[in-house]
Amino acid sequence: MRFLGINAVFHDPAAALVVDGEVVAAAEEERFSRRKHGKRPVPFSAWELPEQAAAWCLAEAGLRPEDLDAVAYSYDPSLVRQETGAPWEDLRTTYATRAPNFLATALPGLDPAQVRFVPHHVAHAASAGLAAPYDECAVLVCDGRGESVSHLAGHYRDGELTTLATQELPHSLGLMYEDVTEHLGFMRSSDEYKVMAMASYGTPRHLDVLRELVAATPEGGFRVEPIDWGGFAKRLGSGERWTADHADLAASVQARLEEVLLDLAFWLHGRTGARRLAMAGGVALNCVANTRLLAEGPFEDIWVQPAAGDSGTALGGALHLAQEHGEPAGPMRGADLGRRWSDDEVAAWLDVARVPYTRPRDLAGEVAAALADDRIVAWFQGRSEYGPRALGRRSLLAHPGHVRNTERLNDVKGREQFRPVAPMVLESRARDIFGRGPVPSPYMLFVHDVRPEWRERIPAVVHVDGTARIQTVSPESDPLMAGVLERFEALSGLPVVVNTSLNTAGRPMVDSPRDALECFGSAPVDVLVIGPCVVRRPA
């Protein structure tokens, strides 16, 4: 059977396709439209659908819209309570209610009756609990908002979800974090990771006050009272310089978020007795909080769905329908679910662009040598990633042993200098260099302590607090990248390379060969490795 999942109502519109119990394709609309996050998260945009992503998913499987057994739309307008007080909520609800007809227009041949509304947080939960490598697990969903709640705690057993607690709006940990993101001069529903990075530069001196305003409740939920952010630090405009007061506010909010998540995890463990936890929702992208949950919480293992934000509800909706129809999908095998091009197609793109290139016999060795020579390498290989993290498919790579490379990469990308870049490391070597976080860690969703003896050896990937958000690689999951890491260590003595996303500020990650050529042509990158081809910038 064939199930298409659609996320559209808030932000990060995306599509995912499950066929006969297998996740065949998943992609975010931003990778096609080249518009960051696909659209802004306002009611006026709720009608916009991931038309290109959905059409590509079907084409990838050789299907037409009329071949689908059902389409999951990851929002149920019948669950909306108008008294939530959100401006223009009636407009968002109207658009969502009419989504079946909008989808039938976008995908000619689709019967609107085939569209099923899947509650937003159920779709999040399914994207974690049904995709996790567990037969049974607790599931924790926390984000800004769904129809009328902002949180779900539950338990998956034999593919069935038992919901144990939800939290009604307006109380929301995700919206609290969005509010402080905006107060600190960043874009809400987009730049929350910048607050997480800034938090490492401050001290949580407002924690006692926030504990009075934000707290878990005995029923497995929480309360978030109105907060006067201006009482902690002056509101910043976009691009305005931040101070220690702003870093202290970020640190305080981050710390309180972690504490409340720990309270929720202990409550959930007490109700389920589960050994494992699966997580989704935008808050689950907070890798600092995830590591604290694993280190101090009650669960032995935690698995976070790599597209944990709203884009992942497209996958969750499709998995939910497949489970309902008796065709459960197996565990998620990886995040490389997007578009791909053959070697010959890549070469044809370069020929059309009249770009000189080589096709070295030892690609891994050539790339390792460029990195050892302190070149910045744009890396374009295989299927693109589903979710916000660059995982060795659309990446910028660099030497980790030169502290200036953090600044170089932030300059290439045109982003704030306080933001860290991440290390990629062979799974077999990770424990030698990094502590506290889990291994394997293939999706960059946890932070790890960098062991003291390594901090001066790989300074480009060490954040100000001594941590790094690692990605582990194995020869089985990515033999080419594993080969690069092995060859780079042989040349440099370092088993780590810098990995950050292949894009510039305000732009989605590179997805197609055209995107890669445009990025390479406009940014100070030394080498482009695209499929089997190597393009070098003229001296």
Catalytic site residue 11? yes
CA distances to 123, 157, 224, 323, 441 from 206, rounded to whole Å, are: 35, 40, 15, 45, 32
Q: Would you say 40 and 10 are in contact if contact means Cβ atoms under 8 Å apart?
A: no
Nearest to 25 by CA among 53, 65, 64, 67: 53
Nearest to 146 by CA among 113, 108, 172, 109: 172
- E strands present in 328-476: 377-380, 394-398, 422-426, 434-435, 448-450, 467-468, 471-473
Q: Would you say 81 and 90 are in contact if contact means Cβ atoms under 8 Å apart?
A: no
Instruction: Check residue 189 and give left, alpha or beta (phi > 0: left; psi -120 to 50: alpha).
Output: left
Q: Please tell me which residue in 11, 183, 206, 463 is annotated as part of the active site.
A: 11
Contacts of 296 (CB under 8 A, 6+ apart): 262
Helix (H) or strand (E) segment spanning residue 249: helix 244-272
Helical H runs in 4-78? Answer: 30-33, 51-60
The distance from CA 439 to its chain's CA centroid, rounded to whole angstroms, is: 19
CA distance 265 to 157: 18
Cross-strand partners of 334: none
The distance from CA 469 to its chain's CA centroid, rounded to whole angstroms, is: 13
Q: Which two tokens stand for residue 247?
A: 């870093």
Nearest to 372 by CA among 292, 284, 456, 485: 485
> Residue 467, CB half-sphere, CA atoms under 13 Å: how many?
20
Residues identified as active-site: 11
